Structures are given as structure tokens and as C-alpha cells.
Structure 1
Amino acid sequence: MASLKALKVRINSVKSTQKITKAMKMVAAAKLRRAQEAAVAGRPYAERLEGVMASLASKVTVSESSPKLLAGTGKDQVHLIVVATSERGLAGAFNTNIVRAARKKAEELEGQGKTVRFYLAGKKGRVLKRFYPNGIVADHELGQHKTLGFEQAREIADDLIRRFEAGEFDVAHLFYAKFQSALVQIPTGMQIIPVAVPIDAVSSANDGGAAVTYEPDEEAILADLLPRNVAIQVFRAMLENAASEQGSRMNAMDNATRNAGDMINRLSIQYNRTRQAAITTELVEIISGAEAL
């Protein structure tokens, strides 16, 4: 049985931990509102641009002069999975769920005979190095910037486009956590290179037979929109991740605070029982000694 001193030290230690987790929960709650507003505000633009690009891809006649971001490389062998995670831990299963979804996609592609490589955006995605030690092509840290901005997304997008044009991969998929609430963050995957064409977009384009007129010209518009679309989708993932991370951390720290409280109660009961047993033993010894005299 633990001594009274050891129990008291442990109770004080758990109380200190509880203060830390409670403070972290309050900080996450304060950051969550701003991150949620940014994520929600960025969704309409990103979703609309994604829809426009899908519509263009379904209606434009792809030729040798078409941009590679639209037409692709003509192959579907090498797939690059961009895994966007956070720079810090203590956020529950937030990072684990993203990594698990990315690994599931990788296993599915490998089952089809494809070559899979990973592009890590965030420190917590480095756990993939244990499973794919030779499959990591880049490890991009996001913590080098104090605030989350479009410049970071543009930097990642430019690197992805450069690698794509150099022929390092044929298709790129982006994985992140879509924010629903502080309790729900959904791991989401989407194809960002080349532009994915949904089946419904193709059918609607074929049924409608609408002609698309470009002003000033097709090449100029697509040359600007295609790289911008990649950057916007990466930026949307970063905004969604920021909100999801704070929501998951707030929930995790709330659970940790409650667990610490339960542990303090159990340790306090054990401490009181041990103390009472010690007092009872001393009384018995005193009474026994008095009767012996």
C-alpha cells in the first residue's frame, strides 16, 4: 500500500496537471471561434472555384496544348498523397484520423498496382515515415510562420505544381479534417491535381451541349485559374484543419480535466482510508500498551 506521503505527492501532481489541461481547454476554446469563422468564410469561394474548374474540365476539349493541370500527364501510375496535419499534438485523435484516412487511400491504390508517395504538410504527419520510410518526398513544416496565411498555401501549391510538371507524379490527393463541430471533425480526401471531373459534371456537359466562350482567351484564363485552384484548395484544407485542431484539442483537454478530477477523488479516498488506518493502528497500540501497564 502506498504511503501517505507518496499519495499526497501524487494528488498534488494530478492537481497541477488538471490546472494545465483546464487552461489549455480555455485557450483552445478562445482560438476555436476565430478559426471556425475563417474556415466557414473560406468554404463558399473554395467550393465555387472547385465547381467552376470541374465544369471547365468537363467542357473543354483537351489537346496537346492544354495545360497539364487540366489534361494530366496521360498516365495514372504514380499517386502523391498530400497529408495536411497540425504542428502540435494534444489534440485527441485529430491527426491520427487524417493519417489513417491517408493510409487507407494508399493501401487502396497499392492494391490496384499504383505507386504511392507522400507529401507531408505538418509535423504530426511524420508518423507515416514509420510505415513508408522510402515513400516520403517532402516534409513541409507549417510552424515557421506565426500566423496562418494564404502565402503558406501558395508555397505548398507552387512546390506541388513544380513537382507535377517535372513528372514526379501523375495524380495528387489532399487529405485534411473538415470541421463540423467541436466534437466532430471528418477526415476528407480530394483530388487536386489534375482537376477532378465529377461524373455528374460530365453527364450534364454531355446532355446540355453548351458552348464555352473564353475572354480574353482559353489559355490565359486557365493558366491563372488552374494554379490558383490548387492553392485555394490547399488553403481551405489549412483553414479547416485549424478549426478542427482547436475543436479536437478543446474536447480532449475537457476529457483530460474530467479524468484528472476523477483520479483526484479516487486518490483522496485512498489517502483518507490509509490515514484512518494509520490512526486506528496507533490507537490500538496505545490502548494495548496502557492495558499492559
Structure 2
Amino acid sequence: MPSLKDVQLKIQGVKKTKQITKAMNMVATSRLRGAQGAMDGFRPYAEKFSEVLGSLAEKAGDEASPLLIPKEDVKKIHIVLCTSDRGLCGGFNINLTDTAKKFIANNTIDGAEFSFTCFGKRGRDWCRKTSYTMAEEHLGVVGGKFGFSVASTAGKKLVDGFLEGEYDEVYLIYSEFVSMAKQLPTLQKLLPIPPIETEEEEDSGEKEYLAEHICEPSAEELLGDLLPRNVYVQIYKGLLETSTSEHAARMTAMDNATKACNDMIENLTLAYNKARQAAITADLMDIVGGAEALKG
């Protein structure tokens, strides 16, 4: 049985850990409000943008822009991986990197080349351990405050790379925020831009009516500006979703850690009381034994 001092030191250590996890939970909760507000504010814009873009693309046809035309021979695949800069958020980053691994395993063909643009240190560190090329890294973005310029700068390089033949396909991996307890790793195709489909259309198999938008100049000319911007919008949306999901995952992880600390303190306190009672009993036995010996 451990000594009283050892148990006391363990209890003090667990209490200090509990203070840290509780403080991190409060910080994550505070940051979550701001990140969720930014995400909820951008979601309607992204949805409406996709609706307008789908209407214009239907008017202009698939041949209106090279960004809509799939490559016949897909050999160069680029992945934009969004992860966090810090850990202590459960399996948040592992789920994202596992999504990348599964995608690569399912799309490995002879001569296929995979490259990455990494947002976040965790994705960057994972990419460095692999044999894949890392074209760019962006640190200090996910989990903090960032503007649309971050997504537009990265997106412009991806669009230029696709048009110049550096990439045959471009995909985005991010964490979709569903609820406080659920964040889904999501794989989305960025380039070539896939047809805009609604959830009802995907479920029923029928094409939903899209509102016809009056536009000037022509739909073809507008698509030349809107299609690259759609890439920027999707990247920015993915970063906002990932940032919100990170704070929610960390808040949940720290809450679970705080509860585990409470359980450990309760078990250690019980062990301390047992050790203290055993020490008191041993002392009493020594006193009684000594008294009996004096009597004899």
C-alpha cells in the first residue's frame, strides 16, 4: 500500500491537472462562440453563391470554362488538408489525416502523384512523415482569426496550377461542424468544379428547379470570374468549419479530462483514507502492545 505522502502528492498533482483542463475548456468555449458566429454568418452566403453559380453554369454549358472540364487522364492529384495547429482535442486531427489516407489508398493508380497544401501544424507534421510532396503550408490560421484573403491567396494558386496542368484534380479535406458532439471529416472536390447539386436532388435523383437569374454581361463572362471565386469560397468555408470543429472537439476533450480528474481524485481520496486508517490502526496496536508488555 502506498504511503500517505505519496497519495497526497498524487492528489495535489491531479488537482493541478484539473485546473489546467478546466481553464482550457473555458478558453475553448469562449473561442467557440466567435468561430461559430463567423461560420453561421458565412454559410448562407456560400449556399446562395452555389445556387447562383449552378444557374449560370446551366445556362452557359459545361464548355464555358476550363475549370468545369474534367481531365481525361488523372495522374496529378492535389489535396488541401485542413487541421489544427495544436493538439489536446481528442481524435480530431487523426480523423482528418485518416480521411486523407483512405482517399489515397482508394485512388492509387500507376504513376499517380499526390501533393498537399496543409493548413495547420498537425497536418503539416503528418505530411512531412510521408513521401508526398507538400506544396505549401499555412500555420496559425485554423483556430484563430483569419480573413477571406487567406483562402483567396491559396485558391488562386490552386486555380493557376490546375489551368497550367500542374494538377489534374484538387480536393479539400476539412471537418464539418454538425453539433457540439459531432464533427465529420469531409472530402470535397474543388477542381474541376463538379455540378452543383442539392441534397433533395441527390436523395430523390430528380433535378431540382433552380431560379433563373437575370445577369449582365453574359453567363459565360460571369463564370470566368465566379468559378475561381467559388474555389475561394469553398476553401474559406472549410477553414471556418474546421476552426469551429476544433474548438468544439477541444471543449469536449477537456470536459472529459476534467471529469476523469474528478474520478481520480475521488479514488485517491478513498485510498488516502484507507492508508490513514491503516496507519492509525497500526499505531494503536503498537500502543496497546506496549502497554500489555509493561503490565506483564
Deviates more, 1:261-270 or 1:116-125: 116-125
Q: How does 1:177-196 map to 2 (within 5 A)?
A: 177-196=175-194
Structure 1 residues 199-247: Cα deviation after superposition (integer angstroms, max 9, x where no partner) = 7699859xx9x99986324554222112211111111011111211111
Q: Is the Cα–Cα contact under 8 Å of residues 51 and 196 in structure 2 kept in the other structure?
A: no
SS at 1:176's partner residue?
Answer: strand
Cα deviations by residue, 1:125-179 (Å, 9 ceiling, x for unpaired): 1353366323433322234996221121112212222332332211111111111
- Distance 1:74-1:53 versus aligned 2 partners, 3 A rule: farther
Q: CA deviation at 1:35?
A: 1.5
Aligned to 1:227: 228
Is the Cα contact below 8 Å between 2:84 and 2:142 reproduced in 1?
Answer: no
Gaps of 5+ in 2: none
Unaligned runs of 5+ in 1: none
CA distance in 2 between counterparts of 1:60 and 1:72 reads 16
Once the two structures are TM-superposed, the CA of residue 50 in structure 1 deviates from its matched residue by: 2.7
TM-score, normalised to structure 2, is 0.86
How far off its partner does 1:12 sit?
0.6
- Secondary structure at the aligned position of 2:108 is classed as helix
Q: Which one is further off, 91-100 or 172-181?
A: 91-100
Q: 1:275 to 1:75 in 2, by over 3 A?
A: same
1:114 deviation in Å?
A: 4.1
Alignment TM-score, normalising by the size of structure 1: 0.86
Pairing 1:39–2:45 present: no
Note the 1:116-265 alignment, pairs <5 A.
116-129=114-127, 132-143=130-141, 147-197=145-195, 204=207, 215-218=216-219, 220-265=221-266
Q: 1:99 to 1:59 in 2, by over 3 A?
A: farther
What is the deviation of 1:68?
A: 3.0
Q: Percent identity?
A: 40
Query: Could you say which residue in structure 2 is the equivalent of 1:286?
Result: 287
Separation in 1, partners of 2:66, 2:24:
46
Aligned residues: 288
Contact preservation (8 Å) 2:52, 2:213: no
Cα deviation 1:25-53 (Å, max 9, x = unaligned): 12212222222121122112112323443
